[in-house]
Amino acid sequence: VRSERQLIRDTQVNVAYRWFLGLNLTDNIPDASTLSQNRIRRFNDSEVYQQIFDEIVLQAMRKKLVSGHTLYTDSTHLKANA
């Protein structure tokens, strides 16, 4: 999911998302800004994103999907999804 707005739109129509969140079909879905603010408050000053990224890279290295020796960057300019 590319954004919190998209996640909220998907949750409005995807029964599996509602089930995962413990929501009934008639329950209100929070606004995307609420989700965004909660994420910022919860993970500000947290290393969790870096830890998840590091673990993914380690698993990819163990499976020899990446070597860890060369870094490529993508500088494609994209219009903001906001």
- DSSP string across 12-78: HH-HHHHHHHT--TTSPPPPHHHHHHHHHHHHTT--HHHHHHHHHHHHHHHTTS--SS---------
Residue 69 included in any domain: no
Indicate if the pLDDT at residue 10 is higher than 80.
Answer: yes
- Does 74 reside within a domain? no
Q: Considering the domain boundaries, does residue 43 fall inside one?
A: yes
Stronger pLDDT, 77 or 53, i.e. the higher one: 53
Domain total in the chain: 1
- Whether 81 is covered by a domain: the verdict is no
Domain assignment present for residue 58? The answer is yes
Give the pLDDT mean for 24-37.
93
Task: Identify the pLDDT of residue 82.
Answer: 64
Whether 35 maps to a domain, the answer reads yes
Q: Which domain holds residue 28?
A: 4-62
